[in-house]
Amino acid sequence: MLGFVRTRQEISFVIYLMLPTLGIGCSGGGPAGELGLVIVVGLVALAVLVVIIETAKAKGRSPRVPSGRLNNKRGKHLDQMLKERKGDHLTEEQRKTIEENIGLYHWLPEKLIAPWEERTLVFLDFFPFTDMKAGPVTKEMRLLVAAEACLLIVKRPMSDYRHLQRIHLWEDEIEGMENARGTATRHEVNLSWAHLKKTIDKARDGHNLTLHEFAHVIDFADDGIAQSIPVSRHSTDYEEWRVMIGEEHQRLMKIYESGKNYSIRAYGGYESIKGDKPELFSCATSAFFERGVRLKRECPRVYEALSKFYAVDPANWRKKKTE
């Protein structure tokens, strides 16, 4: 900030010193006067440009800096694959598997089914699953993980998963992480199948292992850090997210310390890595999709930010009637 003020003052001072000299040239008329005028106009334009750039830097934003998404080859490829899958559907058998297993399927508005299926197909084509100890991951397992992961991006680009490289499913415990039911980095997701099965059919308990772990992947994608701010530093929404996460984190901790029940799990408040708050976004994501009405009532600001980010409105989803 100080560097910015100094720079702007220096520019103004240089122009101020040069003006009398150039002014003589201007008032003298003829070629020298025109030259002086051109120099003054040029200097003013340059100064304005420098001030604009410095102001933008001081606000933490650079003008016209691309988000990086479009420069990412893998992301472009994923988005292209999605275009090519436009209008494709899951098979009847795949739909039946989803219907019988994924609780949220019964709440998803009809208009979201087509984009959801298109994304699920791309996911299945693109992302590898490693074998479990007992043998290969089944078609059903792959489909259910893909479908839940794509629920998060049903209105977002496929390139949200541009850094994801593979998914590991474990029968029960994750090797080397005995207490974890799932883990995620920018590149990999580990899921305990035994635990996933326990949460996948419950659409309204606010706990969903797959949504939780893939929300971390999305949070990592923009900058390699999971700090519960899923938008890049260049986004105009960044500052709003940063302030909101800081305040909501404090609020969440206080509410749990007071013994109250809350729509976002306590884990979202207490777990932090090196001062970052990675769990707030992922726990809030589960709450957003599975307890939208309650989250909207208790934390309208969080609900609104997530609704803008995911471009869906789960508080208004209604359960479909089954025959």
**Site membership for Zn ion, residue 227 (CB under 5 A):** no
**Which DSSP category does 259 fall into?**
T
CA-to-CA distance for 82 and 169, rounded, in angstroms? Answer: 25
Least Å distance between CB 275 and Zn ion?
A: 16
Name which of 148 and 279 has its Cβ closer to Zn ion. 279
From the list 87-95, 242-250, 282-290, 299-307, the region that binds Zn ion by CB under 5 A is 282-290
Measured at CB, which residue is nearest to Zn ion?
A: 282
Tokens encoding 140? 């059903």
89 to each of 82, 139, 156, how far by Cα in Å? 12, 16, 18
Name which of 159 and 282 has its Cβ closer to Zn ion. 282
**Site membership for Zn ion, residue 286 (CB under 5 A):** no
Least Å distance between CB 268 and Zn ion?
A: 8
CA-to-CA distance for 268 and 279, rounded, in angstroms? Answer: 4
Least Å distance between CB 10 and Zn ion?
A: 48
**Site membership for Zn ion, residue 285 (CB under 5 A):** no
**Site membership for Zn ion, residue 228 (CB under 5 A):** no
CA-to-CA distance for 149 and 152, rounded, in angstroms? Answer: 6
CA-to-CA distance for 302 and 245, rounded, in angstroms? Answer: 8
**Site membership for Zn ion, residue 282 (CB under 5 A):** yes
Least Å distance between CB 216 and Zn ion?
A: 6
Task: Return all residues near 89 (Cβ < 8 A) that are at least 6 apart.
Answer: 114, 117
Strands 188-192 and 182-184: antiparallel
Least Å distance between CB 175 and Zn ion?
A: 18
Q: Which residues bind Zn ion (CB under 5 A)?
A: 279, 282
